[in-house]
Amino acid sequence: MRWLLPVALTVQFMVALDMSVVNVALPDMRADLGFTPQGLLWVVNAYALAFGGLLMLGGRLADLLGSRPVLIGGLVLFGAASLAGGLAGSPGMLLAARAVQGVGAAALAPVAFALIAIAFPAGPARSRALGLWGMAGAAGGAVGVLAGGVLTDAAGWRAVMLVNVPIVAFALFASLRTGPTAGPAGPGARLDVAGALLATCGTTLLVLGLVGTSTHPWGSARTLCTLGGAALLLVAFVVVEQRTAHPLLRPGLLKGRPVLTANLFCLLLSSGQFAAFYFVSLCLQQVLGYGPTAAGIAFLPFCAGVVVGSVIATRTVAALGTRRLLALGGSLAALGIAGFAVTARTDGSFLTFVLGPSVVSAVGIGMCFVPLGTAATTDVEAGETGMASGLLNSARQVGGSLGLAVLVTVAAQVSGDSSRPADLVSGYATAFWAAAGLLAAGTLAALVLLPRDRGAGTATASGTGTATAPVTGPAGVPVAGPEDLRKRSAGDADPAVSRPTRG
C-alpha cells in the first residue's frame, strides 16, 4: 500500500496541471495550427467541459467497477490523449485530444480522492494524506502556469502536452504496486444509465453556458438557452435519482449536514479562488508589464502558502475540529483575497501587490483541504466513496467556472471596454472584493451548518478525532473501514462486517 499515496498525489497534480499549463502556449498554438480566435478558446474549454461534465459518472464507475480498473483506464486514456495532442497537426485533432484528456481526468480525479478515503483510517493518517492531496492540487495549478511559459519558451507549445506522458508512465508503474484497493460493488449494483446521461448532459451544458459568457453576454439567447437547458436537465436528474434503486447520486447523501456543507463550501471557495487568481494574472501582465514566465514565477509564494496551510491543518485538525478549522481557513483566504483589492494599483510591485495577499490567502486555502475532505466523506457508506468524491470534484469544477464567469462580468461592468491601466485596475479590484465576499459566505455557511466539534481526542462522526473507533452510517450501522475493504478486495471477506443499509 506504500505506493497508493504517491499514485493519488501524482494523479491530483497532473489533473490540476492540465487546467492551466496550456494557457501561456495558446498564442503559439494559434500561429502553428491556424486557430481562429474563437476556436482557440476551445483548447481550454474542451478539457473543462469533458472534465466537469463527467465527474459524477467517473466517481460512480469507481464504486461499481473498483478503483484499480478505473484508475488504470483513466491513466491510459489521459496519456494517449496527451501524446496525440503533442503530435496534432490540425486544430480539430488538438481539440479532440483535449476533450479526451478531460474524459480521462474525470475518471482520475474522483479515484485520487477515493483512494485516500478508502486506504487511510480517520485520524492523523488521513489528515496527513488529505493535506498532501490538497497541496498536490494547488501545486499542479500554480506549476502549470510556470511550466507552460518555460516549456513553450524552451521547446515549443507541443511540450505542454507531451509533458504528461512521463507523468502518466510513473503513475501507471506505481499503480501496479499499490496492492489491493477497493473492489467493485456487490453483484446487485448497477449503473444508473438515465441518471448518468442527465447528470453528464446537464453539467456539461451548465459549464458550457458559464464559459461561453466570455463571448456571449448573460442576456443573450445562446446563454439563456444553454443555462435554461442545463437547469431542466439537472432538475430531471434529481427526479430520476429519487425514483431509481441504484442512483448515480443517492439523494440521502446530501441530507448529512457535513457533506452538504463541504460541497457548498467547496463551490464558494473555488468560485472566489479561481476568479481571484485569474485577475491576479491579468493584472500582472496587462497592468504591471510582467511576461508569461515572470507571471508564473510570481505564483510560487502561493504554492508555498498552500503547503504551510496544509501542514497547519494536519497538525491542528484533531484539536480544532472540522468546523473551526474550515472557518479559520476560509476567513484567512477571504482576508488575503481582499488584500489584492486593497493593493491593486497601476504602480504596484511584487512585494506590495502579490507577496502578502498570496501568502495569506494560500495559507487559508491550504487549511481548508483537510477539513473539506473529512466533511465530504462523513457518514458515507463504504461503497459510495467514489460518489462522494465525484460530487465534491463537481462542486469544485462548477464553482470555478461559475465564479470566473460572474466576476469577469463584474469587472467588465466597472472597466468597460477601456484598456487604460487605471480602468483595468478598478475592474480587477471590484472583482477581488466580490471574490472575497464569496469566501466569506463559505465561512459563514461552515459556521452555521456544521455541528459544533467535540473535544480533541474523541472519535467524532466527522472523523476529526484521533481515536480509531468505527465510523457509523446514518442509522448507526458501522461502515466498513479500510482494512475491511482490503480483505474484501483480496477475496477474504470478513463476515463480521455487514454492509450498511441505505439512508
What is the full DSSP assignment across 80-104? HHHHHHHT--SHHHHHHHHHHHHHH
Domain ranges across the chain:
1-125+155-182, 192-247, 256-448
| Secondary structure string (H, E, C) spanning 361-419 | HHHHHHHHHHHHHHHHCCCCCHHHHHHHHHHHHHHHHHHHHHHHHHHHHHHHHHHCCCC
- pLDDT, residue 338, reads 96
- pLDDT, residue 166, reads 95
CA pseudo-torsion sign 214, 216, 220, 223 = negative
Q: What is the DSSP letter of 492?
A: -
Domain 1-125+155-182, CATH number (from 3.30.479.10, 3.40.50.1860, 2.120.10.30, 1.20.1250.20): 1.20.1250.20
Query: pLDDT below 50 — which residues of the chain?
Result: 180, 455-503
d(CA 235, CA 182): 32
Q: How many residues does the chain have?
A: 503
- pLDDT, residue 500, reads 36
Counting Cα atoms < 13 Å in the Cβ hemisphere of 78 gives 34
Helix (H) or strand (E) holding 227: helix 221-241
- 30 neighbors 79 (Cβ within 8 angstroms): no
Could you give the C-alpha distances from 19 to 24, 98, 310, 404, 494, in angstroms and in order?
12, 10, 21, 14, 42
Q: Identical fold at 1-125+155-182 and 256-448?
A: yes
CB proximity list for 264: less than 8 A, separation 6 or greater:
395, 442, 445, 449
Cα angle: 479, vertex 485, 381; to 5 degrees: 30
Which three three-digit cell numbers place residue 59? 466517481
d(CA 249, CA 107): 16
Number of other CB atoms surrounding residue 343 within 10 Å: 18
- 291 neighbors 148 (Cβ within 8 angstroms): no
- Backbone phi and psi for residue 502, each to the nearest 5 degrees, phi listed first: -75, 140
d(CA 147, CA 167): 14
d(CA 64, CA 400): 28
Counting Cα atoms < 13 Å in the Cβ hemisphere of 232 gives 6
Could you give the 3-state DSSP secondary structure of residue 282?
helix
Backbone torsion region of residue 450, taken as left when φ is above 0, otherwise alpha when ψ lies between -120 and 50, otherwise beta: beta
Q: Is the pTM of this model over 0.85?
A: no
Could you give the 3-state DSSP secondary structure of residue 478?
strand
What is the separation of C-alpha 55 from the centre of its chain, rounded to a whole number of angstroms?
10
- Backbone phi and psi for residue 472, each to the nearest 5 degrees, phi listed first: -110, 155
- 329 neighbors 365 (Cβ within 8 angstroms): yes
- 129 neighbors 75 (Cβ within 8 angstroms): no
- pLDDT, residue 330, reads 95
DSSP assignment of 112-153 equals: HHHHHHHHS-TTHHHHHHHHHHHHHHHHHHHHHHHHHHHHHH
d(CA 50, CA 73): 16
Which three three-digit cell numbers place residue 228? 435554461
Domain 256-448 has CATH 3.30.70.100: no
